[in-house]
Amino acid sequence: MPRKPLFSLLALSLLLTGCDRHINSMRESRFAPYPQAEAPSVTPSALVASLQASGSGSLTADSLANLNSLLHAQGRLSKQTLTLQPYTPSGERIAQRLASVLRERGALSSQVIVMPARLEGAKEGWDLQVVSEALVVKVPDCAIAEANVWTVKPYQAVGPLGCANRANLAQMVADPRDLMRPQTLDAGDGNAAVNAVGRYYDDEVRELLDIDFQE
């Protein structure tokens, strides 16, 4: 006698589970085809900044702004390969100083390459060109898909779910290659953590990249 209620509950549970799947399929068909959240992608990127020297032997304000924009767009300095190509004697002098500053700011010495001067290229009007090569993460665009109806149809208008999570992950990754292949974690660097906290308390926080040869 006690077995009948147990079998009844089991049958009812299976029936409700089947109904859930059926109803879900019916509702899902109304949204099909539903776009999937775009995953962050990693692509090789090469950017060039053509720079001019000022009368004082440094870079002009526009050239400095272009250089900073290029370096920021390419990610961390330590992940960039930077080639400096001077075209004039002024550009050659600036290239040597710029290479030193880039290394001080975190660029790897082996990845900062100063080419011999090509004086025949001075006719273009540039004193120095900087080429940056790096792997760059493309962050998904998580704007509202249909901004004119999002208050009426929030679920349909907001776009695919999971986009914000993927975008945050893409912006936080230190090495873009981590999004392409797995790797073991490096050993913890206690000295780096302690030094960072010490600079914070000693009011010696490192400034963001802003190269100014007039200092």
How confident is residue 1, by pLDDT bands cut at 50, 70 and 90? very low
**91 and 54 Cβ atoms separated by less than 8 Å:** no
The residues spanned by each domain of the chain are: 43-137
Q: Is the pLDDT of residue 56 over 90?
A: no
Share of residues in the chain with pLDDT > 90 (%):
27
Q: How many CB atoms lie within 10 A of CB 34?
A: 10
Of 82, 79, 56, nearest to 212 by C-alpha is 56
CA-angle at 172, arms to 166 and 174, nearest 5°: 125
pLDDT per residue as tens digits for the range 156-186? 777 777 888 888 888 888 888 888 777 777 7
Q: Does domain 43-137 have CATH number 3.40.190.10?
A: no
Residue 142: predicted pLDDT: 81
Share of residues in the chain with pLDDT > 70 (%):
81
What pTM does this model have?
0.62
Strand partners, 49: 130
Report d(CA 25, CA 156) in Å as an integer: 17
Q: Choose between 124 and 13: higher pLDDT.
A: 124
pLDDT per residue as tens digits for the range 76-100? 898 999 999 999 998 999 999 999 9
Q: Which two tokens stand for residue 41?
A: 């992608």
DSSP string, 45-89: EEEEEEE-B-TTSSB-HHHHHHHHHHHHHT--GGG-EEEEEE-SH
pLDDT per residue as tens digits for the range 120-132? 655 567 899 999 9
pLDDT per residue as tens digits for the range 131-143? 999 998 888 888 7
